[in-house]
Structure 1
Amino acid sequence: MEAPRFIAYESTSSLTSVTPAVQGTVLELGPGTGNQLSYFKSSAITRVYGVEYNLEFAEVLHAKVRENNLEDIYTPVFCDILDANALERHGIVENSIDCVTSFQVLCCTPDPTAVVAQIWKLLKPGGELVFWEHGASSDPFTLLAQKFWTLFWPTIKGGCYLDRNMRDILLKSADWEVVELRYEGEKASMMPRTLGRLRKVVAE
């Protein structure tokens, strides 16, 4: 789906039902070209760190930050989310983040389980992961089609996997309290969504 069409699709999708929960000190995982910046409510946000691995997005992401008047609170950080040393140079350490957003990112990460575990570490106790991801279909025939397409889909679509079980990846990678967890998608949809909010369990 071309970028303008996809942005139009996002604006009418269930993504807009989870973004109002984004608040405090935020880590935006994989902002890419900054498509989702317009959904952030700056009045609810203290600081945003956009952690992006791909330097090719640098110019357009900076432009999007300016376009959305977020220069005072948004800091692009170009590194791997698993690079603790690079994050620390920006003050991003364990128990330092109020909210992490993950919007269609875990489909492309080489090790999504490790990424979710890292997100959990960075969140403060009681902090939340707000997510909107696509993944494996619950329909067995559609899942077979996803597995077939995934034989070559990652090569032509930037490492994107169609058949990842996002619910299991999210829930089994760390100790979460489920605030909201939904699955959406037509039976034959190749990109059904798993979305919602997970809260880092507070140690007693």
Structure 2
Amino acid sequence: MATLYERYILPKLLCCACGAPAFREQRTRIVPQARGQVLELGVGGGLNLAFYDPATVTGVTGVDPSAELRAIAEAAPRPEGLAVEIVAGEGERLPFPDALFDTVLCTFTLCSVRSPAAVLSEARRVLKPGGRFLFCEHGLSPDAGAARWQRRIEPLWKRLAGGCHLTRPVSAAVQAAGFRLDDNHRFYLDKTPRALGWCEQGVASLA
């Protein structure tokens, strides 16, 4: 059962933190690349919805296990004419048939799921042939010093940030799931401590 912190405080903290300028900038770069029928994994508070292009996106289905975050997403700003459906569900067991979506989008979500491998496997399952997986995630830094700090603070960080992990690999996990990386950028977020700011963004297709 969710605690009072998880129900009433954490959703607002997550929306505030993930809506910071450094995160917003990355959303503006990856989200507009979505095409056709889109599935957004971990839609959260709907922070990506404002950046979809209704001229190229048929509709967006956002899935999230948190009722509190889904309620926030329902009211989140989005372009006029963008069809959006917010549904309950977990990335490890998506409630959709095979090969349904043209694009699967995942931003700052793999850090907090129970099994990134299972989520990525499900993303492959629901993608149409020729579909694309778009991602922007923070994770394990390649720099030894930053990685040491990530391992030190991760136990406390997970408790405060809704199970968010700092030491999960990103691009390597996408490739291990059977995707081919067609575009990949790796960098530190601006004005963010290195232990919290390593980010990997890319476009992948079915291998």
TM-score under structure 2 length normalisation: 0.84
Within the alignment, does 1:17 sit opposite 2:22 as a pair?
Answer: no
2:203 maps to what in 1?
197
2:90 maps to what in 1?
80
In structure 2, C-alpha distance between the alignment counterparts of 1:138 and 1:41, rounded to whole Å:
34
Report the RMSD for the aligned CA atoms in angstroms: 2.2
Aligned match for 1:152, one of 152, 156, 159:
156
Within the alignment, does 1:171 sit opposite 2:151 as a pair?
Answer: no
2:126 maps to what in 1?
122
Compared with structure 1, are the counterparts of its residues 15 and 71 closer, same or farther at alpha carbon in structure 2 (3 Å cutoff)?
closer
2:40 maps to what in 1?
28
C-alpha displacement of 1:7: 2.3
CA contact (8 A) 2:50 2:79 kept: no
Compared with structure 1, are the counterparts of its residues 56 and 70 closer, same or farther at alpha carbon in structure 2 (3 Å cutoff)?
farther
CA contact (8 A) 2:15 2:45 kept: no
C-alpha displacement of 1:116: 0.5
CA contact (8 A) 1:22 1:99 kept: yes
2:9 maps to what in 1?
none
- How many residue pairs get aligned? The number is 192
Compared with structure 1, are the counterparts of its residues 4 and 20 closer, same or farther at alpha carbon in structure 2 (3 Å cutoff)?
same
Structure 1 stretch displaced more, 1-10 or 143-152: 1-10
- Stretches of structure 1 that go unaligned for 5 or more consecutive residues are none
Aligned match for 1:182, one of 178, 182, 185:
185
> What are the equivalent positions in structure 2 for 1:92-131 lying under 5 Å apart?
92-131=96-135
SS in structure 2 at match of 1:178: strand
User: In the alignment, residue 34 of structure 1 is paired with which amino acid?
Assistant: G
- Stretches of structure 2 that go unaligned for 5 or more consecutive residues are 1-12
C-alpha displacement of 1:43: 1.2
In structure 2, C-alpha distance between the alignment counterparts of 1:5 and 1:107, rounded to whole Å:
14
Compared with structure 1, are the counterparts of its residues 162 and 40 closer, same or farther at alpha carbon in structure 2 (3 Å cutoff)?
same
In structure 2, C-alpha distance between the alignment counterparts of 1:71 and 1:93, rounded to whole Å:
26
C-alpha displacement of 1:77: 0.9
CA contact (8 A) 2:43 2:70 kept: no
CA contact (8 A) 2:93 2:122 kept: no
Compared with structure 1, are the counterparts of its residues 71 and 55 closer, same or farther at alpha carbon in structure 2 (3 Å cutoff)?
farther
What's the % identity of the aligned pairs? 23
CA contact (8 A) 1:139 1:188 kept: no
